[in-house]
């Protein structure tokens, strides 16, 4: 009969030959890391791959509790040993370990109980698979579908990616169009980072964020005494962007008087600070972006035709997320991975129901809204899979509204809950409590956005990926003043 028993720092097997065979001779050349534990979780044996992975030698690990050598994030609360019985099937989990040299390593654990010839429980066999190469492959695969922080594999995004290198090599003005949240800022940065100006500054100005008087000073600078409160000279954003790129977002909100000054700069590359008659020449490339229809604004006399002509030398349009076939799932995986790492969560993915819903959702806030949805869900999810209940409340509300539209004759309650006649009282109360908790979570989410935006509702709406009217309606609904 074959017997396994520890001796010093090795384990020997009897019954294979006349003399005991060291277990290390059998398993040291296997690529996977293997450790044998006794019933109490003490280490009886570890192979060479395990020593390389953890940084501990056999002599250091022998008779030590597994958690002191493996040092995994699963040890404290999710250790499979606590769940398995002596006759259980092997379990597989993903997590990470901290090696002896304090390196964090992603790992796939496989744990199975060990039984002797009489089916008596004697310990555990634990196998660890290093996932660094897998994650590296996923990152390289993602890089194949990205430029800078822009991500996509749809035909529409592939066209954008193909022209970025050529556009980046010139100094021509670029006008980026697209709906709110499509990634216009990311595209502008990608153009700058791939250009000869990459070592220079990238300066962003939101043309709709400041009143006209302050915006002029912010863009072009001012001299001491130019106006009340101007106690010193101030360089404008144009000067700060010298030898780099100036990104003017929401260019459609630029006041008419400043449109004239911008046009003048595009003609001669000279700026005139407030209060100064002396011009300063700066070397700046202009990239502008808008979600508005500038051609219609020209017809309505709200935007200068000659300025549009000068800005529109190169025009790049970012499609809405609903037009980008196949990109939603890619983006969901990308943001889930990022936020799971950021918040130290072990979330593997979305449930089929949640994924099906998110794949069909229209995303009026585009990529920014999708990103906010994933961040919110990862924040509150306490399990390995994101379910519908972990999504922001307004998405669940929209699902109920969709049901109401497709079933107009079916009467809906004010809270969009199923009628009590369709479910048991306990089920009805459970759903109601869940909706109430999501209402509180949504209120907290709005408050956090308003804090980040310093009370500016338009900015808060952008952070949430909502329209301004939606935010105002939600604030009224939650009695937020």
pTM of the predicted structure, to 2 decimals: 0.58
Do the beta carbons of residue 383 and residue 428 sit within 8 Å?
no
Element (H or E) spanning 288, and its range?
strand 284-290
414-448: pLDDT as tens digits: 334 343 334 444 444 544 444 455 667 778 888 88
**Residue 259 in this model has a pLDDT that exceeds 80:** yes
Q: Where are the beta strands (DSSP E) in 367-412?
A: 385-386
Q: Is 413 within a domain? A: no
| Cα–Cα dist 398/394, whole Å | 6
| Lookup: tokens for 1 | 């009969």
| Cα–Cα dist 351/377, whole Å | 12
The interaxial angle of helices 393-406 and 425-452, nearest 10 deg, is: 130
Q: Is 462 within a domain? A: yes
326-383: pLDDT as tens digits: 899 999 999 999 899 888 888 989 999 999 999 999 999 999 999 999 999 999 999 9
- The verdict on 89 and 226 lying in the same domain is no
DSSP string across 132-173: HHHHHHHHHHHHTTEETTEE--SHHHHHHHHHHHHHHTS---
Tell me how many domains the chain contains. 3
CATH of the domain at 371: 1.10.8.60
User: So what's the pLDDT on residue 367?
Assistant: 94
| Lookup: tokens for 336 | 């889930």
| Cα–Cα dist 204/101, whole Å | 41
Q: Is 38 within a domain? A: yes
- The verdict on 86 and 177 lying in the same domain is no
| Cα–Cα dist 133/130, whole Å | 7
Q: Is 303 within a domain? A: yes
Q: Is 449 within a domain? A: yes
């Amino acid at each position: 009969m074959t017997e396994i028993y520890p001796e010093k720092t090795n384990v020997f097997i009897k019954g294979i030959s006349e003399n005991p065979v060291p277990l290390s001779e059998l398993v040291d050349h296997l690529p996977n890391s293997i450790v044998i534990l006794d019933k109490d979780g003490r280490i009886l044996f570890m192979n060479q791959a395990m020593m390389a992975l953890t940084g501990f030698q056999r002599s250091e690990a022998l008779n030590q509790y597994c958690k002191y050598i493996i040092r995994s994030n699963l040890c404290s609360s999710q250790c499979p040993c606590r769940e398995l019985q002596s006759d259980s099937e092997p379990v597989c989990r993903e997590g990470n370990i901290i090696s002896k040299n304090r390196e964090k390593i992603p790992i796939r654990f496989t744990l199975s109980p060990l039984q002797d010839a009489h089916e008596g429980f004697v310990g555990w066999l634990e196998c660890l698979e290093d996932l660094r190469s897998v994650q590296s492959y996923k990152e390289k695969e993602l890089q194949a579908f990205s430029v800078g922080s822009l991500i996509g594999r749809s035909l529409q995004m592939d066209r954008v990616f193909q022209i970025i290198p050529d556009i980046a090599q010139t100094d021509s003005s670029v006008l980026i169009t697209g709906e709110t949240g499509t990634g216009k800022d990311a595209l502008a940065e990608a153009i700058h980072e791939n250009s000869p100006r990459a070592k220079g500054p990238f300066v962003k100005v939101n043309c709709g964020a400041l009143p006209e008087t302050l915006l002029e000073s912010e863009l072009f600078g001012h001299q001491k005494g130019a106006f009340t409160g101007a106690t010193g000279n101030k360089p404008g954003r144009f000067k700060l962007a010298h030898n780099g790129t100036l990104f003017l977002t929401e260019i459609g909100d630029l006041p008419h008087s400043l449109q004239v000054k911008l046009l003048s700069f595009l003609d001669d590359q000279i700026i005139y600070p407030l209060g100064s008659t002396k011009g300063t020449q700066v070397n700046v490339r202009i990239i502008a972006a808008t979600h508005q229809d500038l051609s219609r604004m020209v017809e309505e006399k709200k935007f200068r035709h000659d300025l549009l002509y000068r800005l529109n030398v190169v025009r790049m349009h970012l499609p809405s997320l609903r037009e980008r076939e196949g990109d939603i799932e890619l983006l969901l995986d990308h943001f889930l991975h990022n936020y799971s790492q950021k918040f130290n969560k072990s979330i593997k993915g979305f449930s089929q129901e949640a994924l099906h819903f998110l794949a069909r959702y229209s995303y009026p806030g585009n990529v920014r809204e999708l990103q906010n949805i994933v961040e919110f869900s990862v924040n509150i999810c306490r399990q390995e899979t994101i379910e519908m209940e972990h999504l922001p409340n307004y998405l669940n509300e929209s699902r109920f509204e969709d049901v109401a539209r497709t079933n107009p004759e079916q009467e809906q309650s004010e809270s969009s809950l199923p009628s009590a006649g369709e479910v048991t009282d306990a089920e009805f109360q459970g759903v109601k409590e869940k909706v109430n908790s999501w209402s509180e979570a949504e209120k907290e989410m709005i408050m956090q956005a308003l804090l980040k935006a310093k009370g500016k509702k338009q900015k808060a709406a952008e952070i949430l990926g909502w329209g301004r009217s939606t935010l105002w309606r939600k604030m009224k609904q939650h009695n937020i003043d």
